[in-house]
Amino acid sequence: MARFSTDASIQALNEIVISGGGLAGLSLAIGLRRAGVEVVLHEAGEYPRHRVCGEFISGISTEALERIGIMECLKDARQRFSFSWHRGDQALRHGRLPRPALAISRYRLDDRLQSLARDLGVDLQASSRLRDRPHEPGFIKASGRIPTRGPWIGLKAHVRGLKTSAELEMHTGHNGYLGITEVEDGWFNVCGLFRNDRGLNARHGDLLIEHVRRNGSHALARSLQQASWREGSFCAVAGFELGAQNRLPGVLCLGDSHAIIPPFTGNGMSMAFEAVDLALPELVSYAFGQVDWAVAVASIEKSFANAFHARLAASRCIHPALFSSCSRLLFKHLPLKPVLKLIR
Ligand SMILES: Cc1cc2nc3c(=O)[nH]c(=O)nc-3n(C[C@H](O)[C@H](O)[C@H](O)COP(=O)(O)OP(=O)(O)OC[C@H]3O[C@@H](n4cnc5c(N)ncnc54)[C@H](O)[C@@H]3O)c2cc1C
């Protein structure tokens, strides 16, 4: 059940303006509209479109999705249990996740969310890039990672014709890592985070394959070369840092614009949804004139620190180990449950 149900006779006093219509912005807009709050959402891009994302949602509870009111958008997401861990061409480990993760393409999920948001009456303005409004009450930044000269490149595509050994395959190496999972209609999401090498002379899908090869996964690179690639699905992002983002004081930031958890956790989307779930009660109180903006923001930021600080710190410590050669031993024998508990 959604936490709030709209009563048309009660009018909210304050409008909320959101910059960024990714997962955080769209689900926040939906949650607020369900509570009867007026919402204007600006999205710089268009829908539907492919996004750089492993499309593997791990850590979020059904109850939280229901409280926000977006469960219907994930109704046919595929449940994922089994995983395999590889280094170079060697399989190190097979296992099962203690709780299933969900797999769904961002092409489909973001499009469903935007359509639900519009149906509920969100004033959603696509192709509209909004400047930050630091001192404006009711302004929320959900515009994703803050561009920096960070060292990473994220690459993603959908391919068909791969033979996988588990529902989630993880391939690690000295330069990065890559996950493979089937998302829908026989398409496999292939998505990796690598140290950006600007000297690489390859483009589009070839760039992804080249990164995989240089990372030591030669057999996988050959399979990717022979696979069929979904038209328009290749995308890339570069120039960002993991961890806490450089936030403007006084601006409420949600999702990646607040902090980026390393992608190997499969927890970034969950964090965006969890942030919305945590922020909604205070934002609704603000919209109905029951609490000042500054008080609402301070309280939300405190709840974000409580919920996210430990997992961001733990994943920051584990992340470098994924690239080192001793990770072979580490990931072969590491007990899964306690590690997963640390990073979500
Ligand atoms: C390589 C890689 C793999 C990943 N794999 C996974 C995974 O498997 N599982 C997982 O859970 N997470 C994964 N993530 C993380 C996940 O994609 C993000 O955590 C999630 O997308 C965050 O949602 P968001 O809404 O905060 O940001 P986004 O989804 O990035 O949305 C931000 C939106 O804001 C818009 N925007 C930007 N600036 C403006 C502006 N000024 N005005 C208006 N609109 C603006 C953008 O166009 C965009 O649509 C991965 C990330 C990377 C880099």
Radius of gyration of the chain (CA): 20
Check if 114 has its Cβ closer than 6 Å to any atom of ligand 1. no
Residue-wise pLDDT tens digits, 167-176: 999 999 999 9
pLDDT digits (tens, 9 = 90+) for 253-305: 999 999 999 999 999 999 999 999 999 999 999 999 999 999 999 999 999 99
Range of the domain at 247: 16-76+105-148+241-325+336-342
Is position 229 within any domain? no
Tens digits of residue pLDDT in 59-117? 999 999 999 999 999 999 999 999 999 999 999 999 999 899 999 999 999 999 999 99
Whether residue 217 is contained in a domain is answered as: no
**Is there an atom of ligand 1 within 6 Å of 274 CB?**
no
Planar angle of CA 182, 183, 185, nearest 5 degrees: 95
Does ligand 1 come within 6 angstroms of the Cβ of 204? no
Of the candidates 65, 12, 56, 62, which has an alpha carbon nearest to the alpha carbon of residue 35? 12
Give me ligand 1 centre to Cα 238, in Å: 12
Task: Assess whether the C-beta atom of 26 lies below 6 angstroms from ligand 1.
Answer: no
Ligand 1 pocket test: pick from 47, 51, 53 the residue with the most ligand atoms within 8 Å of its Cβ: 53
191 in any annotated domain: no
pLDDT attached to residue 149: 87
**Residue 118 counted as domain residue:** yes
Per-residue pLDDT reduced to its tens digit, 35-48: 999 999 999 999 99
Question: Please, what is the Cα angle at 159 between 157 and 163, to 5 degrees?
Answer: 130
Q: Give yes or no for residue 256 CB within 6 A of ligand 1.
A: yes
Could you say which DSSP state residue 190 is in? E
In a domain, 25, yes or no: yes
Residue 294 lies in a domain: yes
Q: Is the CB of 105 inside a 6 Å radius of any atom of ligand 1?
A: no
Q: At 213, is the secondary structure helix, strand, or coil?
A: helix
Q: pLDDT: is 99 or 2 the higher one?
A: 99
Average pLDDT over residues 201-222: 96
Task: Work out the pLDDT band at 233, boundaries 50, 70, 90.
Answer: very high
Positive or negative: CA dihedral 56, 61, 63, 64? negative
CATH of the domain at 264: 3.50.50.60
Nearest CA-CA partner of 133 in 141, 143, 124: 141
Cβ of residue 53 lying under 6 Å from some atom of ligand 1 = yes
Measured in angstroms, how far is the CA atom of residue 162 from the centroid of ligand 1?
A: 26
How far apart are the C-alpha atoms of 190 and 284, rounded to whole Å?
38
Q: Is the dihedral of CA 30, 36, 37, 40 positive or negative?
A: positive
CA nearest neighbour of 172 among 48, 302, 326 = 326
44 falls within a domain = yes
Write the single-letter amino acid at 203. Answer: R
What is the number of structural domains in the chain? 1
In a domain, 97, yes or no: no
Rounded CA-CA distance 17/72 in Å is: 24
Q: How far is the CA of 191 from the centre of ligand 1 (A)?
A: 14
